[in-house]
Structure 1
Amino acid sequence: MILLKRTLQFLIICALLALITLLSLYYYVKSDIPSVQVLKNVQLQTPMQVFTKDGLLINQFGEKRRIPVTIDQIPQPLLQAFLATEDNRFYDHIGIDPIGIVRSALVLISTGEKKQGASTITMQLARNFFLTREKAYIRKVKEIFIAIHIENLLSKDEIFELYLNKIELGNRAFGIGAAAQVYYGKELKELTLAQMAMIAGLPKAPSALNPIRNPERAKARRNVVLGRMLEEKYISRAQYNEATNQPITAYFHGAEIDLYAPYISEMVRAEMVSRYGIDKAYNSGFKVYTSVESDVQKAAQTALVNNLHAYDMRHGFRGPEAILWDPQTEPPLTQSKLLNTLKAVNEFGPLKTAAVLSVSDKSAEVILKSGERTTLTWDNLKWARKFITRYRQSFAPETASDILTPGMQIWLRKNDDNSYILSQIPEAASAIVSLDPQDGRIKAIVGGYSFEQSQYNRAVQAKRQVGSNIKPFIYSAALEKGYTLASILNDAPINQWDKSQGVAWRPKNSPAIYNGPIRIRRALAQSKNVISVRLLRGVGLQRTADHLLKFGFDDKDINRSESLALGSASITPLELARGMSAFANGGHLIEPYFISQIQDAMGNTLFKTNPTIICDDETTTPSSLMLGEQVAPNCAPQIISKQNAFLIASAMNSAIWGGGSWSHKTGWSGTGWRAQALKRRDLSGKTGTTNDSVDTWFSGFNRDVMTSVWVGFDNPGNTLGRSTYNNNLGSGQISGAESGAKTAQPAWVDFMRAALDGKPAAPIEPPEGLVSIRIDLETGLLSHKNDYTSRFEYFEKGTAPTKYVLSQPNDIFEENTKTEEELF
């Protein structure tokens, strides 16, 4: 009895001592224990995702890959794999597992080593959120108290869900949703039992047990997890046998990008960092929906790449990227050494690196870095005459040996028929911008050939001389001054002595063809340089410059000299597209935008753009971007009259469709005649070429789409040169001096063909305040005739001629006799 009493007293004393010790420890670490209330509204670090307008993933940014999932989205076998491995009594304990603690203590006493941590899932969650992985007793004490706090705050399912989304699983994957994507490229519901077990085995040592770096160790760990699941009767013996026999199938999967569009995604990244700071932008799980349409964006990228390759090919083959062996003096490399060499080459864009193995009369055998062997046929080689300079190319090759020899390291790309064609890295650069002129939405934007090659976004960063793309703005100023599309000016050379320079300024047409008296419509359509200079003089230099500033151009980019009439102003493609949109939307200045809306990680809308729109009342109202408010229309300011905008668009339509009567030998073409291939009468356009073909442009539009294309070199001093006819390529090829019509317009045509496919005609309708009157084509005066010597012309009310022509010789300068509906 006395022994029992003393034993009971001893136990009570021990319990009291344990309680006192526990309380002492609690008060000792209390000040260091963080509040776990934050777990109620925890924001897991989740990467920012960027989408197209129609919801395709363009890119994602963030240090951690995480795809948050709810517990009801997680397959039951995966939950059981984690429970069996990490904490099988999770749903029974209070956050700490006494049995596990005793077992860990016994191991420590018997071995003197901390081999088992006895950490429950709740304790691991506490460590992951609030503590470090340091193996220290005081950390373990804090972990216990925090775990108890968590259990009092959250339900078991909430704790388990947080744990599975927070845990680190290697290769920058945090949480099981990201791990499934990183290792298997799958959603959780698509994983096999073996793959689930693999993921469940990673928390113990994400680096050491990584199936990509250490497949054998990962497999052993996976089988341990499967063994635990078998012990706990979560799986049958048959399931265990089948899963343990599965091979390791994990390999690294990047983000599942639906459309690779790096230039627009980089614009979004920079804007989000500017708004929220880099840490919040990268880790808050923002979903950013851009303004670009996936099919239109893809068409822009394809058009730009193909056009640069077309330019590059007509100027000749610059030779191999490297010589891997000299067939005259050295034996060929072994296949293993050859493939190792090729694998070290960074590929970008559509280009694939390859080595020439052998060359026959009209073909060549090559091997790609993937090990694929293929034959380059003569049709995919014969373009490659030798490049000499940008103005000269060698003779057309007659055999494959004129082009290639074994040992050459070359570039290939896929042809339209999926065969490989000899290629090279384009030297020229380019940009495409396409807007909705009615509200400024950027439909597509491409800043260069390859983002991997150069992150410089030429669409928004490169200010280049615009050449004749400036003329629509010059002519708009002239119409505002009182000129009309029927006004006659003298298309003749200009000679002006410059006293300060001691030289004569002689602006010339390009080509140097002069037609004498010419109507303004035709002068703009045929891009007559001297007429542009005469109009600038008629309006006045300062007044012209002030008019150009209405279109949103920067004052410092608009030089005050007569060369302004020829396009010496330097403007980015986006700025040019914005300004020229005014001719498509009735004279309004829209504000381009590329972010449509921003959502948080839970899908709540944080921002939705309120774009500038064309308002009927033509008032300008400040934009409000605050959600929950009644957002007033953000009306684009009227910068020129509707009549002025229509008249310029109409003249630019003639730049594509020309005029005159071809049956009476008076027909003429505008500089943008190649756009007739689109067979759309609703398009207006303008070419642009600077001196020595340094910069080339084409800009064109209908009511719904405004697109500008620039092609040149990043070094502004480099000329695009000229190419001679290649006898191997036949008809349809481009040759001669590079220009806006030859160098930039083909990309515009290819892009617009895709962008407008299936879209109804969207002509720019004549507004009120215009009259349509038949005029004489030679004099611009009124005409009584209804033949090829006259046509209908638009005038603002009060500006039409009042006199009739007295005589109409059957001469030149006549135009189309069709009705205005047929012409426009």
Structure 2
Amino acid sequence: MISQFGEKRRIPVAFADVPPLLIDAVLDTEDARFFQHHGIDPIGITRAAIILITTGKKSQGASTITQQVARGFFLSREKTYIRKIKEIFLAIKIEKALTKEQILELYLNRSFLGNRAYGVGAAAQVYYGKRLEELNLPEIAMIAGLPQAPSAANPIRNPSRALNRRNWVLSRMLKKKNITQAQYSAAIQAPVSAKYHGAEINLYAPYISEMARDYLVDKLGEEEAYTGGYNVYTSIDSKLQRDAQHALRNNVYAYDQRHGYRGATAILWTDTPLETSHLLTRLKQTQAFQGLVPAAVMSIEAQSASLLTSAGETIQLDWQGLKWARKFISNKQQGRAPKTAEQILTVGEQVWLRHNGDFWQLSQIPVVSSAIVSLDPHNGAIKALVGGFSFHTSQYNRVTQAKRQLGSNIKPFIYTAAIEKGYTLATLINNAPINNADTRQGTAWRPKNSPDRYTGPTRLRVGLAQSINVMSVRTMRYAGLDKAIDTLVKFGFTRDEIPRNESIALGSNSVTPLQVVTAFSTFANGGYKVEPYFIELIEDSYGTVIEKSSPILACPPHAKPLPISDDPFAAMAEEFKQAEQVTDADSCGGPDSRYAERIISEQTAFLVTEALKSVIWGGGNWSKGTGWNGTAWRASRVVKRHDIAGKTGTTNESRDTWFSGFNPKLATTVWVGFDDHSKELGRTTWDANGAKDQISAAEAGAKTAGPGWNEFMKNALTGTPEIPTTPPQGIISVRIDLATGKLTRKTDYTSSFEYFISGTEPKEFTTETNESNDIFIEDSADELFQ
């Protein structure tokens, strides 16, 4: 259960699962002769008639449980003779159509029992936070007494009247000998323990819950969606969802913390401390959320402080939880590292505390935003989705609603277009300044590298792995602007939102994280375009399936049945032909399955994936001075798997940062930025109190979004076997010279094996030795429009 919406709360239970003691309590109270009559109770009717004649009052309705079911399903509650006659005839018809057990099951699940609870299952949860089988005798009696007056005898609103009603039910059970005198005596002494319990949420996932609610409202209309009692099952994996929520939260806190402390949220006193009771009242006015707890600074030592939380707990905050809090000046500037607690806190301040899993630390509400989405690349099922840091503070779903500039995350698709036209991973592209500017934007646009360094002719694999801007622009020029745009559209990006100029080579178009992760899934699944989905199944209140997902599958369909032929050799030839096209290893689905469109060849998907692995693992020989890192080298140290690939992305002035990547089973995109697009993510200076491996300098995809991706994928893939690289048919490997990309007979550090689509491998051998440069590059802010 991730959420519950609607006017009525229901937890349907089968008759066999209702505790016998609860059945006894209901029958003893409402209809003691239920199993003897045929829908109406002559004895009860006679008794009610005598009372009416003698007193002139309708004090007893004489309605059986069957009559109450008839009224609840088909009639109103108005007290008229016509309604009563209809009720009797309907009850007789119901008795002929259903068994007694079925009628009682309807009654137990249909009755309104107060506080939006319909049925005994929902009442057990609402009033006691329990399942039916966990209720004790006083609780059972309380629920059994509710159908007559669910509002007036409500144990939350009117506990004294509810107590009298409960004890009357217990007396009826004693009279009918369904409980003993000892049980009765003990039960009537029990206090009223009912209190309101919300829906029993197993996993708090508000953004995906809201998507499911919107989906059902759009499908059925608001009234039917809220009152129909539907069960909606999503594609979310609870473990991966928790991993995603923790990774996003930790990454946002880390960004916020390295940019400095913005100060107290309030001043509670300056001279005279508040009384503890008054202080706690003030603190409780601030709601704790996302692990943040409001607290008051009570005293300060040299490098520690004592704080009182809103829960009345005293926390001793040590230096390890304080020393990070250098002063925030701007997103680009921080104060000096503090040396004492007095440089950070003042007695009487209200601040936020957070337990980071190891110790308590001073904290604050982050102002930066983020999103993470992960899906199965083989069918598009969304496995985890977090649309922001806190649904409590913002319901805006950045995964599906925020369109932000893509930055260098676009480069794999630009290189795909070039590979389809003839480039290889060994193709040399000139890493040199671009002098012939693109003027289609109205101004001369001359892209430059970040950092502003140029190495001359460089292999395509290195250019993508190190996110070299001018190489991406030259690659797009080779493919052609029309071909590049057509390729982006093929991957699912919207044509009308793609600028028709060369800036798209560096990601000037705006997209949602969901579009991005779907596009990257094509590389993970071998070239297919999947459709993301999050609804697996919808059932109505009776358990009938009204909708079931039918995802398109990223694989070849099963081989078609063999044609009937009298020629055994022809049939055998056809069988071999089909076996060559589709094997059990790469086929999936069944006769009713839908299959995804192949948008790039398996060979092209493999080559781009290999280059994206170099983004993480780099290349060359470090011992010989030719080693180089890709922009996402941190992922290799955190995730520590060789079946991962990915791409960093940063836009102008670090307004948007991305990391998108995958292994063969899971594709994930992380975005970090401000909701206000005019704000820059900025930069940080080295913190003297920070860790040795701290992040500093300009914010960028590798440093800002990357750590969130690294943490999520590390936890998500833990326990799953690493999937070895298996080149598809049509891919060959030859040894090339690393400097020229040509064939070589050398087997030393100046050469390496490279993958090629068969027929595109180099035909010439190198004639001279050129060593690769020692390059160590991070994906800092890619300047799109300089």
**TM superposition shift of 1:345:** 2.9
Are positions 1:733 and 2:673 aligned together?
A: no
Are positions 1:597 and 2:532 aligned together?
A: no
Residue matched to 1:742: 703
Q: Does the Cα contact within 8 Å between 1:708 and 1:748 map onto a contact in 2?
A: yes
**TM superposition shift of 1:651:** 1.0
Residue matched to 1:168: 112
Which of 678, 693, 702 lines up with 2:663 in the alignment?
702
Q: Name the Cα RMSD after superposition.
A: 2.5
Residue matched to 2:163: 219
Deviation string, structure 1 residues 720-778 (Cα, Å, up to 9, x no partner): 11111222223121111110000001011100111110111124422222222211111
Residue matched to 2:720: 759
In 2, the alpha carbon distance for the partners of 1:214 and 1:319 equals 46
Are positions 1:266 and 2:210 aligned together?
A: yes
Residue matched to 1:440: 380
Residue matched to 2:285: 344
- The range that moved more, 103-112 or 770-779, is 103-112
In 2, the alpha carbon distance for the partners of 1:501 and 1:291 equals 43
Residue matched to 1:480: 420
**TM superposition shift of 1:268:** 2.0
In 2, the alpha carbon distance for the partners of 1:93 and 1:651 equals 78
Are positions 1:794 and 2:755 aligned together?
A: yes
Residues 769 and 263 from structure 1, CA distance in 2 versus in 1: closer, same or farther, beyond 3 angstroms? Answer: same
Are positions 1:566 and 2:506 aligned together?
A: yes
Residues 683 and 158 from structure 1, CA distance in 2 versus in 1: closer, same or farther, beyond 3 angstroms? Answer: closer
Question: Runs of 5+ in structure 2 lacking a partner?
Answer: 561-588, 777-786
Q: Does the Cα contact within 8 Å between 1:164 and 1:176 map onto a contact in 2?
A: yes
Give the secondary-structure state (helix, strand or coil) at the position aligned to 1:718: coil
**TM superposition shift of 1:451:** 1.8
Give the secondary-structure state (helix, strand or coil) at the position aligned to 2:345: coil
In 1, the alpha carbon distance for the partners of 2:775 and 2:654 equals 31
In 1, the alpha carbon distance for the partners of 2:45 and 2:603 equals 85
**TM superposition shift of 1:123:** 3.2
Residue matched to 1:291: 235
Give the secondary-structure state (helix, strand or coil) at the position aligned to 2:529: coil
Which of 113, 134, 154 lines up with 1:210 in the alignment?
154
Residue matched to 2:313: 372
**TM superposition shift of 1:523:** 0.7
How do residues 111-126 of structure 1 correspond to structure 2 at under 5 angstroms?
113-126=57-70
Q: Which amino acid aligns with 1:530?
A: V
In 2, the alpha carbon distance for the partners of 1:218 and 1:502 equals 77
**TM superposition shift of 1:391:** 0.7
**TM superposition shift of 1:167:** 1.0
Q: Which amino acid aligns with 1:357?
A: M
**TM superposition shift of 1:314:** 0.7
Residue matched to 2:270: 327
Residue matched to 2:651: 690
**TM superposition shift of 1:611:** 2.3
Are positions 1:489 and 2:489 aligned together?
A: no
- The range that moved more, 302-311 or 405-414, is 405-414
Give the secondary-structure state (helix, strand or coil) at the position aligned to 1:59: coil
In 1, the alpha carbon distance for the partners of 2:737 and 2:157 equals 81
Are positions 1:182 and 2:126 aligned together?
A: yes
What number of residue pairs does the alignment pair up?
747
**TM superposition shift of 1:152:** 4.4
Q: Does the Cα contact within 8 Å between 2:629 and 2:775 map onto a contact in 1?
A: no
Which of 644, 651, 656 lines up with 2:611 in the alignment?
651
In 1, the alpha carbon distance for the partners of 2:549 and 2:591 equals 10
Runs of 4 or more, structure 1, over 6 Å off, are: 498-502, 617-620
Residue matched to 1:63: 7
**TM superposition shift of 1:337:** 3.2
Deviation string, structure 1 residues 330-364 (Cα, Å, up to 9, x no partner): x3333333333333333332223333333333333
Q: Which amino acid aligns with 1:199?
A: I
Which of 513, 520, 539 lines up with 2:479 in the alignment?
539
Residue matched to 2:570: none
Which of 501, 518, 536 lines up with 2:458 in the alignment?
518
**TM superposition shift of 1:169:** 0.8
Are positions 1:72 and 2:32 aligned together?
A: no
Structure label with greater radius of gyration: 1
In 2, the alpha carbon distance for the partners of 1:439 and 1:590 equals 6
Q: Which amino acid aligns with 2:326?
A: R
Q: Which amino acid aligns with 2:593?
A: P
Are positions 1:462 and 2:422 aligned together?
A: no
**TM superposition shift of 1:644:** 1.4
- The range that moved more, 234-243 or 595-604, is 595-604
Residues 403 and 531 from structure 1, CA distance in 2 versus in 1: closer, same or farther, beyond 3 angstroms? Answer: same
Q: Which amino acid aligns with 2:678?
A: G
Question: Runs of 5+ in structure 1 lacking a partner?
Answer: 1-56, 621-628, 816-824
Q: Does the Cα contact within 8 Å between 2:431 and 2:468 map onto a contact in 1?
A: yes
Give the secondary-structure state (helix, strand or coil) at the position aligned to 2:190: coil
Are positions 1:235 and 2:179 aligned together?
A: yes
Residue matched to 1:414: 355
- The range that moved more, 146-155 or 176-185, is 146-155
Give the secondary-structure state (helix, strand or coil) at the position aligned to 2:755: strand
Give the secondary-structure state (helix, strand or coil) at the position aligned to 1:460: coil
How do residues 706-725 of structure 1 correspond to structure 2 at under 5 angstroms?
706-725=667-686
In 2, the alpha carbon distance for the partners of 1:812 and 1:652 equals 20
**TM superposition shift of 1:88:** 2.4
Deviation string, structure 1 residues 526-583 (Cα, Å, up to 9, x no partner): 0000111111122211121112211121111221111001110111111111111222
In 2, the alpha carbon distance for the partners of 1:145 and 1:336 equals 63
Q: Does the Cα contact within 8 Å between 1:64 and 1:283 map onto a contact in 2?
A: yes
Which of 333, 347, 350 lines up with 1:392 in the alignment?
333
Work out the percentage of aligned pairs sharing the same amino acid. 57
In 2, the alpha carbon distance for the partners of 1:201 and 1:692 equals 66
In 2, the alpha carbon distance for the partners of 1:377 and 1:469 equals 41
Residue matched to 1:776: 737
How do residues 652-667 of structure 1 correspond to structure 2 at under 5 angstroms?
652-667=612-627
Q: Does the Cα contact within 8 Å between 2:625 and 2:774 map onto a contact in 1?
A: no
Q: Does the Cα contact within 8 Å between 2:438 and 2:445 map onto a contact in 1?
A: yes
Residues 685 and 70 from structure 1, CA distance in 2 versus in 1: closer, same or farther, beyond 3 angstroms? Answer: closer
Q: Does the Cα contact within 8 Å between 1:170 and 1:210 map onto a contact in 2?
A: yes
**TM superposition shift of 1:692:** 0.5
Q: Does the Cα contact within 8 Å between 1:194 and 1:222 map onto a contact in 2?
A: yes
Q: Which amino acid aligns with 1:526?
A: Q
TM value normalised by structure 2: 0.90
Residues 764 and 62 from structure 1, CA distance in 2 versus in 1: closer, same or farther, beyond 3 angstroms? Answer: farther
Give the secondary-structure state (helix, strand or coil) at the position aligned to 1:801: coil
Give the secondary-structure state (helix, strand or coil) at the position aligned to 1:60: coil
Residues 254 and 219 from structure 1, CA distance in 2 versus in 1: closer, same or farther, beyond 3 angstroms? Answer: same
Residues 346 and 131 from structure 1, CA distance in 2 versus in 1: closer, same or farther, beyond 3 angstroms? Answer: farther
Which of 401, 421, 428 lines up with 2:342 in the alignment?
401
Deviation string, structure 1 residues 43-95 (Cα, Å, up to 9, x no partner): xxxxxxxxxxxxxx222333211122232222222122122222323334444
Q: Which amino acid aligns with 2:153?
A: L
